Structure 1
């Protein structure tokens, strides 16, 4: 994520800011400019070409500050959401706000990494859409199915998510992490084709392995002995699909964190995309940076910020993901 500042007074801004706390200017996010821009009292912004943009209609519902071409319309990110909680579901709507905030970060990073995002409304067969469902009154299973990503909004609740994390003995669990993992399934479905399939099988395993059997084996037997030498997480050991999705999520973790650190002067890399080798980026930048961040977190009495070890086989998988064609 970039370092943002108010164009009116120069005050530092967070990505989620809808108003500058210093000069009280109303703000909106321009996806085309990848910048936070000032909007007038009507929620409008006029760009350098004279085009008028409007703040998303979900500003009050989910805190969305993104701009759209259409007055009273949804922005690009909100337009990807196919299903949300009903207006009567107060708990679901509170959780929905957290999920949409994470989804906006996901969209910005996919833009930065060069992965095209085609909405389901434009391409019913290959497009992307999100069902963000409340589990207040029904069971919800998080997952991906042919371009539809379903997320259980209960994961937005810190207490619930932490309980699940501890129960499953996971070192890390966040709503943004869920988005990054599930988009990994979508990316594999769309971008690992042709000759890349055989290369992927050599790294992650045969994706044609029965998924139901893999789930049963994983939860009854646990990960194989010595899994730490070949996988980024225990969950990645379950099935080749999950190994790819976990690897893609970590690719996004690394790229976004390095970009943010660079924006604030904590790293000297202008952009992760400038490195010809993702392997070199991980070894030369990410590992020392993550160690420092882990120590900083511990200085505040918290656990490691990035509680993972990247063995050589995982580095190969990360390089594969980084080299995927974007078209």
Structure 2
């Protein structure tokens, strides 16, 4: 996720900012332009309307009109804006959520806010890849549910275009308990959403995109019994010691669908981290007594067709530095994976497929016609 600048005063702001700490302007993210913007109330133009403020030194500026997402005005749970021509009370991200937990419970309200924040981050990355909203199709819908006494356990997953998430995953202690119980090195809200979005886009890009045979030749035949494959995976306590030869994670070895979803999530990890590092103009020098190599990180969205090998050459030293920084603070590795050549081939498949869907990535300086 790139960092932004207040378009009124130029001060550094972030994707989840709601106010510029330098000039005091109200801030909102504009999904139709994929950028942060300073807004000023415009009651003269209509109730609850805000106008884009524009540069401080502009003498005349006719900024577009927006409304704040009602999840911001009612719950302080969103910082996306809605174009005035769009009559929905919810922004394009929040309106994808179909079912909420009981928000009268303060714990559920807190959990829901955290999950929506992660979902907005997912929306941004997918939109930058040209995948959100899905051209000509409905996007995924989300159900955020809480376990109820005596009721069935809520399982995180995807089915028929609906992504379900147990809101308990927003609790650090519960997420850590499940991660340890399942022997996972990594478990986060954004990781869950990226993984489950992979199942959604498998339907859209592989099954309906006439890429099944290419998929099966690399990931395996998804027609094998899914439930039996997962039962076997957990019965043997994982996927053996050689899963890393061809998979990004042990869970990916359970079934071709999970292999795809885990690989998809890793690809989104890659483009997001590279974009973040590039926005800080990061360069990484890998120490070597004979020939140290300096890697300049470039924005994967800066060109129409980013080269996958260039991305990998930047990604590897970047994750080494990231993990080293975490260790210096006594934290676990932020990216606890080492990807084999077999896993990289599958990441390349995802990359090529995504690039084939939208040859020209969305420019954050230009509106997304399909999102207005």
TM-score, reference length from structure 1: 0.92
Aligned residues: 322
- Per-residue CA shift, 1:236-276, capped at 9, x if unaligned? 11110000000000000010000000001114343224464
- Per-residue CA shift, 1:263-315, capped at 9, x if unaligned? 01114343224464313421x10001111111111111111111101101111
8 Å contact 1:279–1:315 — kept in the other structure?
no
Map of 1:92-111 to 2, 5 A cutoff? 92-111=108-127
The equivalent residue for 2:246 is 230
Cα distance in structure 1, aligned partners of 2:260 and 2:309:
17
Higher-Rg structure is: 2
8 Å contact 1:13–1:20 — kept in the other structure?
yes
* Range moving further from structure 2, 58-67 or 43-52: 43-52
Task: Report the CA distance between 1:38 and its aligned residue.
Answer: 1.3
Q: Is 1:271 matched up with 2:302?
A: no
Cα distance in structure 2, aligned partners of 1:136 and 1:270:
47
Q: What is the aligned counterpart of 1:133 among 133, 139, 145?
A: 145
8 Å contact 2:229–2:255 — kept in the other structure?
yes
Cα distance in structure 2, aligned partners of 1:174 and 1:280:
27
Map of 1:39-118 to 2, 5 A cutoff? 39-41=39-41, 42=48, 44-46=50-52, 50-59=63-72, 60-69=74-83, 70=86, 73-118=89-134
Cα distance in structure 1, aligned partners of 2:35 and 2:310:
29
The equivalent residue for 1:161 is 175
8 Å contact 1:232–1:310 — kept in the other structure?
yes
Higher relative contact order (CA 8 A, sep 6+): 2
TM-score, reference length from structure 2: 0.81
CA RMSD, Structure 1 to Structure 2 (Å): 2.1
Structure 2: segments with no counterpart, 5+ residues: 42-47, 54-60, 284-295, 359-372
* Range moving further from structure 2, 198-207 or 126-135: 126-135
8 Å contact 1:6–1:13 — kept in the other structure?
yes
Task: Report the CA distance between 1:50 and its aligned residue.
Answer: 4.9
Cα distance in structure 1, aligned partners of 2:345 and 2:321:
24
The equivalent residue for 2:58 is none
Structure 1 residues 305 and 43: alpha-carbon distance in aligned structure 2, compared to 1, 3 A threshold: farther
